[in-house]
């Protein structure tokens, strides 16, 4: 029992212990409060984010990432995020190209960030890391940002712990001036406090290093995903080039009546399945125009299968509708004739144009094509949950070429459009 070191509390009076405890509390609060005030008042600098854009090309390389919807949901677009206070754009050499700073509550300027530029984003939030999708002014994905915050709060807890340890040592030294009994017995408690503080600081450092390693691994994974997206974009560009060559060959080669029209319709359906780009849209418009001219100048007298043509158009439309999270269904009522005199490619084009118009107006909804006989006429009815708009001129002209009239109306559920083909 004689070898047991005395407790510090037994060597000091209540007044001396109170003085030491008050000194520890005041010093810790002073240092911790100063650290918190510095971080909160300089939120932009303490929450600086560094990012690097790895973007696919706008036209020939297709979409930047397959999981674009998920990325866009993780972090709002930089220009509309109310917590983002500014954006600085650098070129590959590190020179400052442009800097945008939020003016009060106004949003950032709508600027398109180019590929291979380094961007520094200053924000008032405390995010650790995030991934964002960058969009151009017309809504096409341009690339993605990997954001990593240089967390100024990481040093807050170590600073408070150091202040606590320092104040404890200082309070003990000052209190010892009032207690002549203190001597070598104080060494062990002080050593225990120092060891505990050092252990906590080491744990904080290891945790910070682990988080940095995880961020590096996530950045490497993002690079691989972007590289795969670029490869898929290149493949799509090659496929588009092949379709353009096929279109040029069809324009120069004469064929039997109706032959070019069917081939052009098939080519238009293939173009619809390619990733959206200005080049694809121009080729699709040219193909549809050529198909319409061919169908009007060389009408086919061969009988057509209306149900089969409608099913073919719905099958192609489903792939395009999936990009907007919509569904396309086809209902064929009994009594539809197996064959019908008329121009098959022209009917297929009219149905395809009306389905495409419904897809453009419907996002995350349902589109239904209904075919049936009504009053000695074959009716094609298109129902969708999108907002009602004017009749599409191209589809209206295609239906008119079939000798029918396109009609439409708005309903509580969405929009209904239809046309009737007379049964002879």
The per-residue pLDDT for range 323-332, each reduced to its tens digit, is: 888 999 998 8
Mean pLDDT of all residues belonging to the chain:
65
| Lowest-confidence pick of 122-136, 215-229, 271-285, 372-386 | 122-136
| Lowest-confidence pick of 53-62, 158-167, 276-285, 382-391 | 53-62
Judged against a pLDDT cut of 50, whether residue 60 lies above it is answered with no
Using alpha carbons, list the distances in angstroms from residue 237 to 34, 64, 114, 223, 264. Answer: 58, 14, 20, 21, 20
Q: Report the pLDDT averaged over residues 330-344.
A: 82
Q: What percent of the chain has pLDDT over 90?
A: 7
How far is Cα 275 from Cα 98, in angstroms, rounded to an integer? 31
The per-residue pLDDT for range 27-49, each reduced to its tens digit, is: 767 766 666 665 554 443 333 33
Spell out where 129-196 has E strands: 129-135, 141-149
Query: Last residue of a domain, which of 151, 170, 200?
Result: 151
Contact 295, 287 (CB under 8 A): no
Residue 304 counted as domain residue: yes
How far is Cα 251 from Cα 296, in angstroms, rounded to an integer? 16
Which among 153, 102, 99 is positioned nearest to 125, based on CA atoms?
A: 153
**Which of the four pLDDT bands, split at 50, 70 and 90, describes residue 21?**
confident
Residue 257 counted as domain residue: no
The residue segments making up the domain with residue 388 are 300-422
Provide the pLDDT for residue 412: 87
**Which of the four pLDDT bands, split at 50, 70 and 90, describes residue 303?**
low
Judged against a pLDDT cut of 80, whether residue 318 lies above it is answered with yes
How far is Cα 401 from Cα 65, in angstroms, rounded to an integer? 41
Residue 232 counted as domain residue: no
Q: Report the pLDDT averaged over residues 279-298.
A: 55
| Residue indicated by tokens 């092949």 | 242
Query: Last residue of a domain, which of 105, 120, 151?
Result: 151
Query: Last residue of a domain, which of 151, 169, 197?
Result: 151
Provide the pLDDT for residue 88: 58
How far is Cα 255 from Cα 273, in angstroms, rounded to an integer? 26
How far is Cα 320 from Cα 301, in angstroms, rounded to an integer? 31
Q: What percent of the chain has pLDDT over 70?
A: 39
Judged against a pLDDT cut of 50, whether residue 61 lies above it is answered with no
Judged against a pLDDT cut of 70, whether residue 268 lies above it is answered with no
Burial of 181 by CB count in 10 Å (0-12 exposed, 13-18 middle, 19+ buried)? exposed
Provide the pLDDT for residue 299: 46
Q: How many CB atoms lie within 10 A of CB 71?
A: 21
Which among 362, 323, 347, 360 is positioned nearest to 395, based on CA atoms?
A: 347
Provide the pLDDT for residue 89: 53
Domain holding 137: CATH number? 3.30.450.20
Residue 334 counted as domain residue: yes
Judged against a pLDDT cut of 90, whether residue 383 lies above it is answered with yes
| Residue indicated by tokens 């008050």 | 22
Rounded to the nearest 5 degrees, what angle is found at the Cα of 345, between the Cα atoms of 341 and 350?
Answer: 100
Residue 264 counted as domain residue: no
Provide the pLDDT for residue 417: 92
Higher pLDDT, 364 or 264: 364
Provide the pLDDT for residue 259: 47
**Which of the four pLDDT bands, split at 50, 70 and 90, describes residue 313?**
confident
**Which of the four pLDDT bands, split at 50, 70 and 90, describes residue 394?**
confident
**Which of the four pLDDT bands, split at 50, 70 and 90, describes residue 369?**
very high
Which among 388, 223, 382, 409 is positioned nearest to 317, based on CA atoms?
A: 382
Using alpha carbons, list the distances in angstroms from residue 321 to 34, 263, 417. Answer: 56, 23, 18
Structurally, the chain folds into a number of domains equal to 2
Which among 101, 110, 99, 49 is positioned nearest to 75, based on CA atoms?
A: 49
How far is Cα 227 from Cα 182, in angstroms, rounded to an integer? 68
Provide the pLDDT for residue 185: 56
The per-residue pLDDT for range 215-262, each reduced to its tens digit, is: 788 777 777 777 776 677 666 666 666 666 665 655 554 443 344 555
Contact 219, 54 (CB under 8 A): no
Higher pLDDT, 158 or 208: 208
Residue 182 counted as domain residue: no
Residue 319 counted as domain residue: yes
Which among 261, 268, 262, 266 is positioned nearest to 284, based on CA atoms?
A: 268
Bridge partners (DSSP) listed for residue 48: 122
Q: Tell me phi and psi for residue 166, to 5 degrees.
A: -65, -45
- As a residue count, the chain comes to 424
Domain holding 355: CATH number? 3.30.565.10
**Which of the four pLDDT bands, split at 50, 70 and 90, describes residue 75?**
very low
pTM of the model: 0.35
Provide the pLDDT for residue 254: 47
Q: How many CB atoms lie within 10 A of CB 279?
A: 15
Contact 288, 268 (CB under 8 A): yes
Residue 256 counted as domain residue: no
């Amino acid at each position: 029992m004689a070898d047991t070191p005395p407790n510090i509390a037994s060597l000091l009076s209540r007044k001396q212990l109170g003085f030491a405890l008050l000194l520890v509390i005041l010093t810790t609060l002073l240092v911790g409060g100063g650290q918190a005030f510095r971080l909160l008042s300089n939120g932009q600098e303490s929450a600086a984010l560094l990012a690097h854009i790895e973007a696919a090309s706008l036209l020939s390389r297709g979409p930047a990432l397959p999981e674009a919807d998920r990325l866009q949901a993780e972090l709002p677009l930089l220009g509309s995020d109310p917590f983002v206070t500014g954006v600085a754009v650098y070129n590959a050499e590190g020179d400052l190209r442009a800097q945008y700073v939020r003016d009060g509550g106004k949003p950032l300027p709508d600027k398109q960030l180019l590929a291979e530029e380094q961007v520094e984003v200053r924000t008032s939030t405390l995010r650790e890391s995030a991934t964002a999708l960058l969009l151009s002014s017309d809504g096409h994905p341009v690339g993605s940002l990997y954001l990593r915050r240089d967390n100024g709060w990481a040093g807050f807890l170590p600073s408070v712990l150091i202040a606590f340890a320092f104040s404890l040592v200082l309070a003990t030294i000052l209190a010892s001036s009032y207690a002549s009994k203190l001597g070598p017995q104080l060494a062990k408690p002080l050593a225990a406090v120092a060891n505990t503080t050092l252990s906590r600081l080491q744990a904080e450092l290891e945790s910070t290093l682990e988080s940095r390693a995880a961020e590096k691994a996530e950045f490497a994974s993002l690079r691989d995903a972007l590289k795969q997206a670029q490869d898929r974009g290149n493949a799509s560009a090659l496929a588009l080039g092949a379709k353009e060559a096929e279109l040029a060959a069809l324009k120069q080669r004469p064929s039997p009546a109706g032959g070019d029209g069917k081939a052009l319709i098939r080519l238009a359906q293939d173009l619809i399945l390619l990733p959206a780009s200005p080049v694809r849209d121009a080729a699709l418009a040219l193909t549809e125009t050529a198909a319409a001219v061919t169908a009007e100048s060389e009408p086919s007298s061969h009988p057509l299968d209306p149900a089969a043509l409608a099913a073919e158009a719905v099958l192609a439309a489903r792939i395009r509708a999936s990009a907007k999270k919509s569904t396309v269904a086809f209902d064929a009522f009994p009594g539809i004739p197996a064959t019908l005199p008329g121009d098959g490619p022209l009917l297929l084009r009219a149905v395809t144009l009306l389905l495409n118009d419904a897809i453009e107006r419907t996002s995350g909804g349902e589109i239904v094509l209904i075919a049936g006989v009504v009053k000695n006429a074959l009716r094609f009815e298109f129902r969708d949950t999108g907002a009602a708009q004017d009749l599409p001129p191209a589809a209206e002209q295609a239906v008119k070429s079939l000798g029918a009239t396109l009609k439409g109306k708005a309903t509580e559920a969405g929009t209904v459009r239809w046309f009737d083909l007379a049964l002879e």
